[in-house]
Amino acid sequence: MKKIMTAVSLACVLAVGCASMGNTDAVRAAAYSALGTAQITNDTSNRPSELVELTRLTTHVDDITLTSPTEATVLTTYKYKGRFNTDGGEKSGVLTIQRKMQFTKNGDAWSQSGNAQEVARSSSWSGTKQS
């Protein structure tokens, strides 16, 4: 009887783990879809105000946390390469911003709910722009 209970318990744990993994994959796909749409449509709503000229934008999904079966939090990184207005004048380099996005599941589809929130930023400047 103990072996049967152990086998049933293990099967339940595996089933829940696999279901969560599937949700994580679906959330990841929705997050990359949202990031890709922002890049393709040249969405400027999340662009940093100090950005003068964008030469390259890369995005990455860093972490996904399922907060319930229908809600998830996604941590993303945006790397903006170009020219920026800084306290020291206009400089070229890379500005990295980490953002938190909320997703909800409606039926079988995950979608972003609300705007992304900035949680961290760092920069690496290569020099000043010469006029």
CA distance 78 to 21: 24
Write out pLDDT tens, residues 10-39.
344 333 443 444 579 999 999 988 888 766
C-beta atoms surrounding 61 within 10 Å: 18
Kindly report which listed range (12-21, 56-65, 94-103) carries the lowest average pLDDT score: 12-21
pTM of this structure? 0.74
Predicted pLDDT at 37: 73
pLDDT higher for 130 or 114?
A: 114
Predicted pLDDT at 6: 41
The answer to whether 95 and 123 are in contact (CB under 8 A) is yes
Predicted pLDDT at 41: 64
List, in sequence order, every beta strand (DSSP E) within the chain: 51-68, 71-86, 89-106, 109-112, 117-128
CA distance 112 to 31: 7
List, in sequence order, every beta strand (DSSP E) within 24-70: 51-68
Q: Which domains does the chain have, with CATH numbers?
A: 2-128 (3.10.450)
Mean pLDDT of 54-64: 93
Predicted pLDDT at 114: 86
Radius of gyration of the chain measured on its C-alpha atoms: 20
Residues 6+ apart with CB under 8 A from 83: 51, 52, 53, 55, 90, 91, 92, 129
Write out pLDDT tens, residues 68-80.
999 999 999 999 9
